[in-house]
Chains A and B, each alone.
Chain A
């Protein structure tokens, strides 16, 4: 057993942290306040290979592994969870399924521009009536000659409107249940595809979360991803990997809040001494640190399993569950330890606490993670 990162992974951390501190952190509060998608940052992330970390070089990616990817999302999220999820949704939910299930033509046409940083990707599964019950897809796809016709609405789509390429699930044969769902690659601008309402959210406010509306949307026949009826499997396996990204995001938020708190406690004085000299508060920080480190081990463990080709569904669920709950725990404590200042927008922990909550909800709620974990024990 060896808990050391490789030299490449260490250097990725150094590089992304440097980038995050200089390019991402200065914008974080403004991006949150104004709900602005930080496109200028995304362009730089593309330039430096952060939007295709684990995709092989022959498909335009950086040729790294899942751990380097987790580190990338973690370090971005440490200063700005919005930026972290833009990278995570693009990489895990759009690049990965095309890499895993796409034909060579689809990879050349869609994965290369996504991974090499010319295009942004998104993923459309959730619907108004199909959240955790993702099998209840109402969006329909019907084959008409040489194209599919899609009708329906997706909601809560991360990178919605900003993305160029969407991996979208739709029902092709309702009688077959989950085996009647198929997966499609839809381009922005395809006839009948439009972006609906943008959500006004509690956290990750700079990330675009929108509806996708399909009204007789014409998708070329060759844009079917995988086989007909394979959509649910593709969606579930994509989310297994996506959970590593969100777990890394949650880990980054928690680490960021912890770092802010440690710095604050060294300089904030009450009763004539800094907060870090009060043992009751020291113990709070000890618990925060311990949970963050435990979350990190779970996240890297899941990422490692995925890298080496071991089954990782349960490991990813545990990483996501624990990291998300740690993010909520640590950010709540961080606000408390900042006192009244922590409740204001003058300190980033206020934003971090709002950002943390979504990690317990999207890409499978904490309840879904518990279902995945326990079903692996009782199967």
Chain B
């Protein structure tokens, strides 16, 4: 069985601030990390491999040369192969252009049973790349996967909803997007770290390797226009109601009336 996992290197948003004047992310000095949902996707692929050593896991990322670092992390966690899609032409891509680039890479890899993506990246929060990739490849997709079982090529997943979950059966090939409830990602191992640097290679594919036209990737192929970026105003302080249930309800009604909510 072949599994492809799409990952992204993102700035650690717990440490990111937005430039109040320019409205852009201040990335200087902010550490880059493997996108958290993508770590869940990698973990689920590796669990398949734990059960069956014949499972081959390939990670793919599109990014600048330094995105190699997250691929090494994935190798140190135990994936078999890592591919970096890197070319100046890919820069400035929105989700449309990114999924087009990834789709070209997946076609080039060719043989696969499952594609795992993280639900969304913490820098853009769009949750679009996974679904778009499935559409471009013409394969079924299930998003928000929080539980995964496989028997033969029959896959049963739980797809998280706001107030419950759906049980969905699909066959391979399929694209799944992982959420954090799916699993707890393993750490890299120390031996894995040394192997990742000494014994494993990262394959780099440029635009020419993918055989896609230049106007189909990167900024040029991106219909998204950023109008404005801003930090949302923090919510005002809430009011804590005290007393027994009756008193609290009375106070609640009073406050709601004050605000003309009822």
Query: Which A residues form the contact surface with B (CB < 8 A)?
Result: 7-8, 11-12, 15, 18-19, 47-50, 53, 57, 61-64, 68, 72
Which positions 182-216 of chain B face chain A at CB distance < 8 Å?
Answer: 187-198
B197 near A48: Cβ-Cβ < 8 Å: no
Q: Which residues of chain B have C-beta atoms less than 8 A from A57's C-beta?
A: 191
> Chain A contact residues: over half helix, strand or loop, or mixed?
helix
CB distance from B10 to the nearest CB of A (A): 15
Q: Which residues of chain B have C-beta atoms less than 8 A from A62's C-beta?
A: 189-191, 193-194
Asked if B43 is at the interface (CB within 8 A of a chain A CB), the reply is no
Query: Which B residues form the contact surface with A (CB < 8 A)?
Result: 72-73, 76, 187-198
A11 near B191: Cβ-Cβ < 8 Å: no
CB distance from B77 to the nearest CB of A (A): 10
A8 near B197: Cβ-Cβ < 8 Å: yes
CB distance from B13 to the nearest CB of A (A): 17
Q: Which residues of chain A have C-beta atoms less than 8 A from B191's C-beta?
A: 49, 57, 61-64
A49 near B189: Cβ-Cβ < 8 Å: yes
A213 to B154, CA, bound (A): 59
A375 to B198, CA, bound (A): 40
Q: Which residues of chain B have C-beta atoms less than 8 A from A18's C-beta?
A: 187
A135 to B212, CA, bound (A): 74
Residue of B nearest to A63 (CB): B194
Q: Which residues of chain B have C-beta atoms less than 8 A from A64's C-beta?
A: 190-191, 193-194
Residue of A nearest to B31 (CB): A14
CB distance from A11 to the nearest CB of B (A): 5
A205 to B24, CA, bound (A): 49
Residue of B nearest to A15 (CB): B188
A7 to B72, CA, bound (A): 10
B72 near A72: Cβ-Cβ < 8 Å: no
Q: Which residues of chain B have C-beta atoms less than 8 A from A11's C-beta?
A: 72-73, 76, 188, 193, 196-197
Q: Which residues of chain B have C-beta atoms less than 8 A from A12's C-beta?
A: 190, 193
Q: Which residues of chain B have C-beta atoms less than 8 A from A47's C-beta?
A: 189
Contacts A8-B194, A49-B192, A50-B190; A15 near B76 (Cβ below 8 A): yes
Q: Which residues of chain A have C-beta atoms less than 8 A from B187's C-beta?
A: 15, 18-19, 48
A49 near B190: Cβ-Cβ < 8 Å: yes
Q: Which residues of chain B have C-beta atoms less than 8 A from A68's C-beta?
A: 190
Residue of B nearest to A16 (CB): B190
A49 to B73, CA, bound (A): 15
A49 to B187, CA, bound (A): 11
A361 to B141, CA, bound (A): 61
CB distance from A58 to the nearest CB of B (A): 12
**6 closest residue pairs by CB, A with B:** A49-B190, A62-B190, A62-B191, A49-B191, A15-B188, A49-B189
